[in-house]
């Protein structure tokens, strides 16, 4: 693309832009520094930078050395970042000076982007052009208590776009957003979807990604043509679009993926825009099969269809096998576990030979060979997904759910076992089970059911809960429980395992769905105290916690990014305001939010019953 479109804009990052020529030169400097630091073809290199053009240049520089990049979300706890670098045996980390202290004491070189020269000559003889070797290692949650790194090769990524070319027709006139963290494989589709076709990649700042209104305005102002979202995130973008003063005139394609789609949630969008432009596409995917594995063009007819979530047909170079518990194929129309076969299947899990053998068949380490035998070997690799699907009468597939306890939260795969193992390390915890609870509108949160050791919490159960919350700070946001239930015992199934269905019912009974009436004062006219009381009532309902102090942090109380958006929708509806989450930049507290509400609230707005917010 550098030779074909040297002066096309490759990356837009806020007020700055990089052409393909400039991006190539910047990544050359990074590659030169990495080679000087001892990186060689086949090395693993961490990428630990805030989202921006440095993310794109960094991963390109790593790939130019023939190394595989290991993306680490900069919002992950430092302990998690250190663990990932150690487990991946990364020899260097591309980072910045503010983030580099996370690796103090580790035997790893850090390449700090802001300290590199503006230009420099690479070592062309050492720059590896790619091929069948690993391109990246993305970590997913692990049921054994530790994340597992998925090895994905250059060939797997390149063939993803070859296999989807006829459906999408991406080209140099397309403008993409990179909305997702580099540690989430949806970003692979976003970054390379733009760069492999000569398009422009717009980096979405984290605060904009958390604000549907700000994201909608960015899509409009940057004239984005291709947007990629989880169904939960798109639902909120669509709600903003319904009341936006200006339309998204350039948008031509919306790709949905990362979690189960309920087509009925698209009704309002399709009523406004139709189902032709922008086209809506649902793509089932999994990291081990290189981002996307199926394609389904959605239409108005899907809105009223009964049955499983439609995921369409396999990509052209993949084969789906639906098998029963015995591993044998099941007839069409009968549910079974999905096994994916073909050249998109990854090589396996890094340093996890037993797990690789359990989930993959016909896989082998990447060798870099380009022989026909190597190509044939890639084509016959199969991955057992753990997802339940059904092949329908028309040859398409429907998604039904999981065969195990794995959960999807905001597109991330969460293995409850990883969280349970961490909580179980506390000396006062006898056992722990982590369950999902859906609060509605795709707001899924984790609930930890904990049995303390006998007598350990006499008179002070809150102390153990506080200690468990502190312990969970070592986990990424999506793995942290929002609430903790202390139980005397766990209900068990006849075979002696924790009865998760019974626990889920217990959690539903314990967590209220509404509250009592809060009073009947007038709105902003009653003063800041009344506004603060109303905001507190909304928080109680949305977070599902009774005791909320005016200076308690929303996220410390168990809120998530999706919960935050729901809370703002409730507040704006109650007060007749149009506040955005960016008003909480100085602190996500009731006191801070109430002050902003009081400054702009519509006078005379009646005090609602809390039940309105449930």
User: What band does 368 get if pLDDT is binned at 50, 70 and 90?
Assistant: very low
Least-confidence region, from 109-118, 315-324, 482-491, 513-522: 513-522
Rounded to the nearest 10°, the torsion over CA 91, 92, 93, 96 is 160
Q: How far is CA 192 from CA 151, 242, 293, 515, 554, in A?
A: 17, 30, 16, 48, 35
Mean predicted confidence (pLDDT) in 440-453 = 82
Residues 559 and 482: beta-carbon distance below 8 Å: yes
Tens digit of each residue's pLDDT (9 = 90 or more) over 196-214:
999 999 999 988 988 888 9
Q: Cα separation of 312 and 51, whole Å?
A: 32
Rounded to a whole number of angstroms, the distance between the first and last alpha carbons of the chain is 51
Q: Cα separation of 387 and 389, whole Å?
A: 6
Residues 243 and 237: beta-carbon distance below 8 Å: no
Tens digit of each residue's pLDDT (9 = 90 or more) over 414-435:
877 788 878 888 888 888 888 8
Residues 79 and 87: beta-carbon distance below 8 Å: no
| Confidence check: pLDDT of 598 > 90 | no
pLDDT at residue number 608:
42
Q: Cα separation of 595 and 101, whole Å?
A: 36
| Confidence check: pLDDT of 511 > 80 | no
User: What band does 534 get if pLDDT is binned at 50, 70 and 90?
Assistant: confident
Q: What are 115's two structure tokens? A: 């300290």
Q: Cα separation of 588 and 79, whole Å?
A: 24
What is the SS3 assignment for 292?
coil
3-state secondary structure 534-597: HHHHHHHHHHHCCCCCCCCCCCCCCCCHHHHHHHHHHHHHHHCCCCCHHHHCCCCCHHHHHHHH
Q: Cα separation of 366 and 133, whole Å?
A: 5
Q: How far is CA 474 from CA 77, 81, 96, 180, 469, in A?
A: 6, 10, 21, 21, 10
pLDDT at residue number 121:
62
Sorted by where each starts, the structural domains of the chain and their CATH numbers stand as 19-129 (3.40.50.980), 153-414 (3.40.50.12780), 418-510 (3.30.300.30), 524-613 (1.10.1200.10)
| Confidence check: pLDDT of 377 > 60 | no
C-alpha 569 chain-centroid distance: 22
Q: Cα separation of 77 and 100, whole Å?
A: 13
Provide CB contacts within 8 A for 332, sequence distance 6+: 391, 392, 393
pLDDT at residue number 301:
92
User: What band does 153 get if pLDDT is binned at 50, 70 and 90?
Assistant: very high
pLDDT at residue number 260:
84
Tens digit of each residue's pLDDT (9 = 90 or more) over 265-312:
899 999 999 999 999 999 999 999 999 999 999 999 999 887 889 999
Tens digit of each residue's pLDDT (9 = 90 or more) over 247-262:
999 999 999 998 888 8
What is the SS3 assignment for 228?
strand
Q: Cα separation of 158 and 167, whole Å?
A: 16
Mean predicted confidence (pLDDT) in 595-604 = 69
User: What band does 44 get if pLDDT is binned at 50, 70 and 90?
Assistant: very high
Q: Cα separation of 64 and 510, whole Å?
A: 55
| Confidence check: pLDDT of 596 > 70 | yes
Q: Answer with the residue of higher pLDDT: 576 or 295.
A: 295
Residues 478 and 410: beta-carbon distance below 8 Å: yes
pLDDT at residue number 476:
83
Mean predicted confidence (pLDDT) in 528-536 = 83
What is the SS3 assignment for 85?
helix
User: What band does 45 get if pLDDT is binned at 50, 70 and 90?
Assistant: very high
Listed residue (243, 248, 295, 242) closest to 272, CA to CA: 242
Which residue in the block uniquely carries the two structure tokens 């809105």?
Answer: 303
Q: Answer with the residue of higher pLDDT: 142 or 255.
A: 255
Mean predicted confidence (pLDDT) in 548-570 = 80
Strand partners, 382: 341, 361
**DSSP run (H or E) holding 385:** strand 382-391
What is the SS3 assignment for 335?
coil
Return the number of other C-beta atoms located less than 10 Å from residue 473's C-beta: 12
Q: Cα separation of 79 and 471, whole Å?
A: 11
Q: Cα separation of 99 and 93, whole Å?
A: 10
- Say whether pTM exceeds 0.85: no
pLDDT at residue number 378:
54
Mean predicted confidence (pLDDT) in 516-524 = 36
Q: Answer with the residue of higher pLDDT: 257 or 130.
A: 257
Mean predicted confidence (pLDDT) in 598-608 = 56
DSSP assignments along 159-217, one per residue? HHHHHHHHHH---TT-EEEE-S-TTSTHHHHHHHHHHTTT-EEEE--HHHHT-HHHHHH
Instruction: Tell me if the bond preceding 474 is cis, omega within 30° of 0.
Output: no
**DSSP run (H or E) holding 464:** helix 461-472
| Confidence check: pLDDT of 514 > 50 | no
pLDDT at residue number 590:
86
User: What band does 124 get if pLDDT is binned at 50, 70 and 90?
Assistant: low
pLDDT at residue number 370:
38
| Confidence check: pLDDT of 585 > 80 | no
C-alpha angle 72/75/78, rounded to 5°? Answer: 70
Which residue in the block uniquely carries the two structure tokens 């998690």?
Answer: 80
Least-confidence region, from 98-107, 115-124, 199-208, 602-611: 602-611
Tens digit of each residue's pLDDT (9 = 90 or more) over 450-507:
888 877 666 678 888 888 988 888 888 888 888 888 888 878 766 666 777 778 877 7
pLDDT at residue number 538:
87
On average, the pLDDT of the chain sits at 84
Residues 111 and 311: beta-carbon distance below 8 Å: no
pLDDT at residue number 289:
95
pLDDT at residue number 118:
75
Q: Cα separation of 153 and 367, whole Å?
A: 10
What is the SS3 assignment for 313?
strand
User: What band does 393 get if pLDDT is binned at 50, 70 and 90?
Assistant: confident
Q: How far is CA 234 from CA 280, 408, 410, 411, 437, in A?
A: 11, 16, 11, 12, 21
Q: Cα separation of 132 and 223, whole Å?
A: 35
Which residue in the block uniquely carries the two structure tokens 């049921």?
Answer: 143
Q: What are 21's two structure tokens? A: 């020529």
pLDDT at residue number 84:
95
Q: How many CA atoms lie within 13 A of 440 on its CB side?
A: 10
pLDDT at residue number 539:
85
pLDDT at residue number 353:
93
Q: What are 193's two structure tokens? A: 């979807």
Listed residue (278, 228, 221, 268) closest to 245, CA to CA: 221
Tens digit of each residue's pLDDT (9 = 90 or more) over 398-418:
998 877 777 777 777 787 778
Residues 451 and 429: beta-carbon distance below 8 Å: yes
Provide CB contacts within 8 A for 29, sequence distance 6+: 61, 116, 117, 118, 119, 120, 122
| Confidence check: pLDDT of 126 > 60 | no
């Amino acid at each position: 693309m550098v030779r074909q479109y040297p002066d096309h804009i490759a990356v837009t990052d806020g007020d700055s832009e990089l052409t393909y020529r400039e991006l190539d030169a910047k990544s050359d400097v990074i590659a030169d520094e990495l080679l000087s630091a001892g990186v060689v073809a086949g090395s693993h290199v961490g990428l630990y930078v805030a989202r921006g053009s440095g993310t794109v240049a960094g991963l390109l520089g790593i790939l130019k050395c023939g190394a595989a990049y290991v993306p680490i979300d900069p919002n992950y706890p430092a302990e998690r970042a250190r663990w990932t670098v150690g487990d991946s045996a990364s020899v260097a980390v591309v980072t910045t000076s503010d983030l580099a202290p996370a690796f103090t004491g580790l035997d790893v070189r850090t390449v700090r982007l802001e300290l590199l020269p503006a230009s420099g000559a690479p070592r062309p003889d050492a720059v590896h052009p790619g091929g069948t070797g690993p391109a990246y290692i993305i970590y997913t949650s692990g049921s054994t208590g530790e994340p597992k790194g998925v090895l994905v090769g250059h060939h797997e990524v390149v063939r993803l776009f070859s296999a989807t070319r006829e459906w999408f027709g991406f080209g140099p006139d397309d403008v993409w957003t990179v909305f997702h963290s580099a540690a989430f494989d949806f970003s692979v589709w976003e970054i390379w979807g733009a760069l492999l076709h000569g398009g422009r990649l717009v980096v979405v700042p984290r605060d904009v990604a958390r604000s549907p209104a700000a994201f909608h305005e960015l899509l409009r102002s940057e004239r984005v043509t291709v947007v990629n979202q989880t169904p939960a995130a798109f639902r909120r973008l669509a709600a903003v679009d319904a009341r936006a003063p200006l339309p998204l005139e350039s948008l031509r394609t919306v790709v949905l993926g990362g979690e189960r789609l309920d087509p009925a949630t698209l009704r309002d969008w399709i009523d406004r825009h139709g189902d032709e432009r922008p086209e809506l596409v649902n793509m089932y995917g999994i990291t081990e099969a290189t981002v996307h594995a199926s394609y389904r063009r959605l239409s108005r007819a899907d809105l009223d269809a009964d049955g499983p979530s439609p995921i369409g047909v396999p990509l052209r170079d993949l084969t789906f096998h639906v098998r029963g518990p015995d591993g044998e194929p099941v007839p069409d129309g009968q549910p079974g576990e999905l096994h994916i076969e073909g050249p998109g299947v990854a090589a396996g899990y890094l340093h996890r030979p037993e797990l690789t053998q359990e989930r993959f068949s016909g896989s082998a380490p990447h060798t870099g060979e380009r022989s026909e035998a190597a190509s044939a070997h890639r084509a016959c690799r199969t991955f057992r997904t753990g997802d339940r699907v059904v092949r329908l009468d028309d040859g398409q597939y429907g998604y039904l759910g999981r065969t195990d306890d794995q959960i999807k939260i905001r597109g991330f795969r969460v293995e409850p076992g990883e969280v349970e193992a961490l909580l179980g390390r506390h000396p006062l915890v006898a056992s722990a089970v982590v369950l999902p609870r859906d609060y509605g509108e795709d707001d899924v949160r984790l609930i930890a059911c904990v049995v303390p050791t006998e007598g350990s919490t006499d008179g002070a159960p809150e102390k153990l809960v506080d200690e468990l919350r502190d312990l969970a700070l070592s986990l990424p946001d999506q793995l942290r429980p929002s609430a903790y239930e202390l139980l005397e015992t766990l209900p068990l199934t006849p075979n002696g395992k924790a009865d998760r269905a019974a626990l889920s019912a217990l959690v539903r009974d314990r967590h209220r769905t509404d509250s009592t009436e809060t009073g009947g004062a007038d709105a902003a006219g009653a003063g800041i105290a009344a506004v603060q009381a109303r905001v507190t009532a909304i928080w109680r309902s949305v977070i599902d916690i009774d005791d909320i102090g005016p200076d308690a942090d929303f996220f410390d109380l168990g809120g998530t990014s999706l919960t935050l958006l729901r809370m703002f929708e409730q507040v704006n509806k109650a007060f007749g305001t149009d506040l955005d989450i960016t008003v909480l930049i100085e602190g996500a507290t009731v006191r801070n939010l109430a002050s902003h509400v009081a400054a702009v609230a519509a006078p005379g707005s009646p005090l609602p019953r809390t039940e309105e917010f449930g």
